Amino acid sequence: MKLQIIKDLLQIFYPQLCLICEDILLQNEPFVCLFCRYDLPVLFFKDSTNNEIIRKFYGRIPLEEANTLLTFHKEGKVKELIHALKYNGNENIGIFLGNWTGELLTENKQFTGVDFIVPVPLHTKKLKKRGYNQLTKFGERLSSYLKKPLKENILLKVDPTKTQTFKQRFERFEDNELKFSIQDTRIFANKHILLIDDVLTTGATLEACSKELQKTSNIKISILTMSLTR
Ligand SMILES: [Zn+2]
């Protein structure tokens, strides 16, 4: 009872604001107000083994299952939300989206066969600058719902310019963003990996990560993202 009074007082002096519209949140509204939440375009597929994402990767990467939470439009609230998560230090948006996705996965029993959750890594320079990987909190919440460990620091993003000759660097300039490296090929052997990312657009990043993961023997890969561009 006393704790509630303190919480109410704190709310008066330091109100929690909606991460999207910045209106004052009511007590039963964690992170995002109900109005904004109902306005977010939920996409979550009922079938995780045969859907738009699986088809997107046909002939590129064989996926076990795939899903996403929201539709990402060029302009809109999902874009604002992900932008705030990545560039405005709003790390808790990952908790909000992770809890939401986790609840839906609990209902659908999807991804129950995965062994590890692996986020698309950031280059250490970017990680230092941002202070966090925007997928860590999301991954931690998913880990809690799926009861499977989050494995960071096995799949890493590397700086390809360091290992390339000048000629290669010049020729392969466009791929520079997409070099990943797996630190230990034994940990994921015979395992099912759930690769997570924020926005799925062309799938080039997830494809590059998957190709690197496939250096591990008998690995299975599934994909789950916060949003899918349409
Ligand atoms: Zn709002």
pLDDT digits (tens, 9 = 90+) for 56-90: 999 999 999 999 999 999 998 999 999 999 998 89
Q: Do 19 and 96 share a domain, yes or no?
A: no
How many CB atoms within 10 Å of residue 5?
Answer: 9
Q: Are residue 74 and residue 29 in the same domain, yes or no?
A: no
State how far Cα 229 lies from the chain centre. Answer: 14
Task: Give residue 27 CA to ligand 1 midpoint distance, Å.
Answer: 13
**Edge-to-edge strands, sheet with 116-119:** 66-72, 220-229, 192-200, 116-119
Mean pLDDT confidence for 28-39 = 89
Instruction: For residues 167 and 143, state if they share a domain.
Output: yes
What length does the chain have?
A: 230
pLDDT digits (tens, 9 = 90+) for 136-157: 999 999 999 999 999 999 999 9
Residue-wise pLDDT tens digits, 110-126? 999 999 999 999 998 88
Q: What SS3 state is found at 92?
A: coil
Residues 6+ apart with CB under 8 A from 13: none
Q: Each residue of 145-202: pLDDT tens digit?
A: 999 999 999 999 987 666 555 555 555 545 555 789 998 889 999 999 999 999 999 9
First to last CA, the chain: 47
Can you tell me whether residue 126 is helix, strand or coil? helix
CA of 51 to the centre of ligand 1 (A): 30
* Residues 32 and 129 placed together within one structural domain of the fold: no
Q: What is the CATH number of the domain that holds 79?
A: 3.40.50.2020
| Domain total in the chain | 2
Q: How far is the CA of 76 from the centre of ligand 1 (A)?
A: 13
Same domain, 128 and 184: yes
Do 71 and 100 lie in one domain? The reply is: yes
Model confidence at 5, in pLDDT bands (50, 70, 90)?
confident
Q: Is 41 exposed, middle or buried (0-12, 13-18, 19+ CB in 10 A)?
A: middle
∠ at Cα 191 (159, 54), nearest 5°?
75
Give 36 Cα–ligand 1 centroid separation in angstroms.
4
Please give the pLDDT value at position 175. 52
Examine the domain organization and report whether 79 and 148 are in the same domain. yes
Q: 163 and 49, same structural domain? A: yes
Cα(135) to centroid(ligand 1), Å: 22
pLDDT exceeds 70 at position 11: no
Q: Which pLDDT does position 2 carry in this prediction?
A: 74
Cα-to-centroid distance, 212 and ligand 1 (Å): 39
Closest CA to 225 of 40, 76, 98: 98
Ligand 1 centroid to residue 178 C-alpha, Å: 35
Same domain, 60 and 103: yes
Interval between CA 80 and ligand 1 midpoint (Å)? 12
Domain housing 111:
40-229
d(CA 139, ligand 1 centre) in Å: 24
Q: What's CA 172's distance to the chain center, in Å?
A: 27
In this structure, are 131 and 60 located in the same domain?
A: yes
Please give the single-letter amino acid code of residue 97.
L
